[in-house]
Amino acid sequence: MISQHIAQQLNQQFNNESYSAYFYLSMSAHSDFIGLKGFASWFMAKYHEETTHAMKIYKYILDQGAAVRLLAVAQPPSDFASPLAMLEETLRHEQSVTRRINELVDMAVSEKDHATHIFLQWFVTEQIEEEATVSEVINKVKLIGDRGDGLFMIDNQLGQKAAALAKTALSTPTSGGS
């Protein structure tokens, strides 16, 4: 059983993860619109990943005997100045998610909620990977500058990464019972 305060904060994080999914879906749509199919696939994979994160929280809230409260999801941005601007906004977004996860961990520790503390460790580790991956792509885009051939190569690489992520997602069993 979790406290009402922790349940409320986890419901807010469910909303934050749902926003993250919309955020990446918007970037996928924009990338597809401007002809960057690899970027579009990569952002779509991130959309699916964020939906999975939200559902982990959803299930945890219910497993802990608390109610899930669905909140309105804010509209994400839909226009971006450049692929680099999209990626830099992605990194800022992931850093804000990391801060929020860390705040949740702090709350769980202060309330001596060991189950929630353990549950959140997966998200802590996930955020390290998220920020590192986006930083790596940003560095590559900065290296190529305005060169179209370089952007074409990165677009292809992101498409391949998205395909690998999709394959991994299909082969990874989901946790839990009902």
Q: What is the pLDDT of residues 42-77, one digit of tens each?
A: 999 999 999 999 999 999 999 999 999 999 999 999
Reported as a single tens digit per residue, the pLDDT across 73-122 is: 999 999 999 999 999 999 999 999 999 999 999 999 999 999 999 999 99
Count up the domains in the chain and report the number: 1
In a domain, residue 20? The reply is: yes
In a domain, residue 176? The reply is: no
In a 10 Å sphere around its CB, with 0-12 CB exposed, 13-18 middle and 19+ buried, how is residue 125 labelled?
Answer: exposed
In a domain, residue 95? The reply is: yes
Residue 166 near residue 38 (C-beta atoms within 8 A): no
**Position 63: which residue type?**
D
Q: Which residues span the domain enclosing 110?
A: 4-171
Assign residue 128 the CATH number of its domain.
1.20.1260.10
Distance CA 83, CA 98 (A): 23
In a domain, residue 55? The reply is: yes
